[in-house]
Amino acid sequence: MSTADDRVRQLAGAQGIYLDFFDLHGVRHEASPDTLRALLKALRTEADTPASVEDALAAQDAHKLPLELIAFAGEGPTLPVDGMCDWSLLDETGALIAEGRAAELIELPRLGVGYYDLHVEQAGSQLSTFIMVRPRHAPRLDERAAMERCWGTTGALYGLRSRHNGGLGTYTDLGAIAAIFGQAGAQFFGVNPLHALGWAMEDIISPYSPSHRGMFNIDHIASKAGLGPTPDAELIDYAAYRTVQRAALEREFEAYDRSAFARWAKTCSADTRRFAEFEAISEIHGHDFRTWPIALQTPGPDARKASGDRAEFHLWLQWLAEQQIDAAQQAATGAGMGLGLYLDLAVGPRPDGAEVWMNADTIAKGVTIGAPPDHLSPEGQSWALAAHAPGPLARAHYAPLRSMLRRLMAKCGLLRIDHALGLLRSYWLPDDGSPGGYITQPLESLLAVITIEAHRAGCVVVGEDLGLVPDGFREAMNGSGLYSYAVWQFETNHLGEIRPVDTLPPYSLACFGTHDTPTLNGFWYGTDIEWWRKVGWLNGRDRDARHAQRSRQRASLRDVCHLSSDATSTEIADAIHGELACAPAALVSVQLDDVFGALDAQNLPGTIDEHPNWRRRLSVPIEDMGHNPALRHVADVMNAQRGPIPQHDETDHPKEATA
């Protein structure tokens, strides 16, 4: 390796780029110079020439004050300074909190949870530090719902059948099914992300490929007049549904009483208005803003003018979505749920969508997010999602993240952060074809923002920490009050055998499977293995080896669940759910597909068209669920084991974050 490459490695390491990493099998991968240069460019650091590398290295310590400071509520933060200075402290509204002079140490007053700006004037220079004052931990289950453990259900909103939705599950359906499960004893009902997919992006159906994560999916808005019963077909025809549903919404908009909407519109965020402008422009110029006229490729007066009156329609859709999600949460908590809706935050937005358009200053350029090969996808994954770059995001005081979390947490009692390992590091794939590599993320700062927003909303947070988990990450996450995520079918020993349920972590949400894994029946019969063979990931020998491994897993489950070799599928499901109910995990989730005995999974990670992802409908209509024996049976099993238990002492919680 040349001296120039060594200097690139030095610069990359200084900016938080991993110089190597170990994969799932313990194999070391060293980042190539091309990868390092591409990732540096994504971080807004030019490294194409030796001179640009040297300039970037020289600029590393240019800032005299730290860009940010994290403190705990009730503390009086201090900040050392080099020489006499005048300082002032403002809260997030811009109001003056305190001011003074200091020679060596700025001593601030005790501060409550929130965000503050410290401005320092020294020798004619104006410097500033962003201060995040966080709680010790995000709300815990016992604080939010007055219980130490509970159970709930997760399922695909799009797949719900009803007499009125016309083909796709609606927010009204969400409230109805949440109320049914609430009456059965469940404390939450979880769904895939409700993020906006984009009006003009007709081909996207995955809830994990959003246009904007802080806005809501209008596909799930229930038409006031109804659209008739769900078609009998097992798979959803999104194009046909959208044609009918959007026409109905257009008619309703023309006849709608504007008074309530007008009151909301006066107070809605600037972000929501900009999103509505994006949607209106996309109807004219297409879903990908990167192909729009140059003047429209960033928000501003030109974009506002180009969106015209049509932006009001898209603003109205966001208002309608919010109203219906709020009603669903009220239906859930009104039926006895302590948490209610359990929402999901996707990893990132599409590069062509509104979130990137609205946040050009913080988005990493020339890369997308993905994952190296793992147990979910043996070929690795390219998620084709954009990332916010750590440095620019910090300089923006995490505004995009704060706004997004605030909107989502206002709608639910429980929020899951998908791929929470992204709080520590992200795997970025350069657009130029260079191999991917890991980028360090500001874990402590991101945890500060999450705990602040969760504290304000009273929202419990789960961090999906599956995969290659670096040492200390779970401890840091749990110490900040974020629950871990335990998928029982992944919890195996060195022989690949599934471990007893009492080994699942107490401070977690536990489940048997997710939308990305086989259902309980699919796992038992190996349908996921057959799908892997069908899409070409396995040859005949690999297929046989995986079925043999699955046989050992079934045997281990029979042992831990006390199942006979001739147990029926119903008895198998009962035993697994019964064991799961006894898990030490604070929260336990049962998949809606498993309640009603579905065979195939909702998604096969790493595929788009090879598998019918995000299209499968549930077999049972909502109207028939209340008295459905399968639902009652699962509820009885869960309620028998997960009733109220004595409150734990503080020492039973994970060690809290310390300054």
Q: For the chain, what are the domain ranges?
A: 3-58, 74-134, 141-644
Q: If pLDDT is split at 50, 70 and 90, which confidence band does 1 have?
A: low
Average pLDDT over residues 164-182: 98
Place of tokens 């990868």: 35
> pLDDT by residue (tens digit) across 90-129?
999 999 999 999 998 999 999 999 999 999 998 888 999 9
Q: If pLDDT is split at 50, 70 and 90, which confidence band does 434 have?
A: confident
Q: Which range among 3-12, 228-237, 274-283 shows the weakest confidence by mean pLDDT? A: 3-12
The span from the CA of 37 to the CA of 51, in Å, is 14
Q: If pLDDT is split at 50, 70 and 90, which confidence band does 276 have?
A: very high
Helix residue ranges, H only, 256-398: 258-267, 270-285, 301-307, 310-334, 354-358, 390-395
Q: If pLDDT is split at 50, 70 and 90, which confidence band does 658 have?
A: low
Examine the pLDDT at 352 and tell me if it is beyond 80: yes
Average pLDDT over residues 174-185: 97
pLDDT of residue 380: 64
**Furthest-apart CA pair in the chain: how many Å?**
82
pLDDT of residue 645: 40
Q: Which range among 253-262, 370-379, 450-459, 602-611 shows the weakest confidence by mean pLDDT? A: 370-379
Examine the pLDDT at 646 and tell me if it is beyond 50: no
pLDDT of residue 47: 83
Q: Which range among 137-141, 160-164, 168-172, 624-628 shows the weakest confidence by mean pLDDT? A: 624-628
Place of tokens 């490929």: 209
Examine the pLDDT at 155 and tell me if it is beyond 50: yes
Q: If pLDDT is split at 50, 70 and 90, which confidence band does 595 have?
A: very high
Average pLDDT over residues 442-453: 98
Examine the pLDDT at 447 and tell me if it is beyond 90: yes
The span from the CA of 509 to the CA of 219, in Å, is 29
Cβ-Cβ contacts under 8 Å for 133 (sequence gap 6 or more):
70, 71, 72, 73, 75, 77, 111, 112, 113, 114, 115, 116, 452
Examine the pLDDT at 141 and tell me if it is beyond 90: yes
Cβ-Cβ contacts under 8 Å for 566 (sequence gap 6 or more):
none
- The residues pairing with 96 across neighbouring beta strands, listed in sequence order, are 90
- The residues pairing with 121 across neighbouring beta strands, listed in sequence order, are 86, 126
Average pLDDT over residues 643-648: 45
Cβ-Cβ contacts under 8 Å for 651 (sequence gap 6 or more):
none
pLDDT of residue 652: 58
3-state helix, strand, coil in the chain (%, to 5): 40, 20, 40
Edge to edge, the sheet with strand 367-371 lists 381-385, 367-371, 425-430, 437-440
DSSP 452-483: HHHHHHT-EEEE---SS--TTHHHHHHHTT-B
Examine the pLDDT at 649 and tell me if it is beyond 80: no
Fold (topology level) of 141-644: TIM Barrel (3.20.20)
Q: If pLDDT is split at 50, 70 and 90, which confidence band does 319 have?
A: very high
- Residue predicted with more confidence, 379 or 88: 88
Query: Model-level pTM greater than 0.85?
Result: yes
Fold (topology level) of 74-134: Immunoglobulin-like (2.60.40)
> pLDDT by residue (tens digit) across 449-463?
999 999 999 999 999
pLDDT of residue 644: 45
> pLDDT by residue (tens digit) across 373-408?
665 555 567 889 999 999 999 999 999 999 999 999
CB neighbourhood size of 140 (10 A) = 17
Q: Which range among 43-52, 581-590, 632-641 shows the weakest confidence by mean pLDDT? A: 43-52
pLDDT of residue 283: 98
> How far is CA 292 from its chain centroid?
29
pLDDT of residue 467: 78
> pLDDT by residue (tens digit) across 533-580?
999 989 989 999 999 999 999 999 999 999 998 999 999 999 999 999
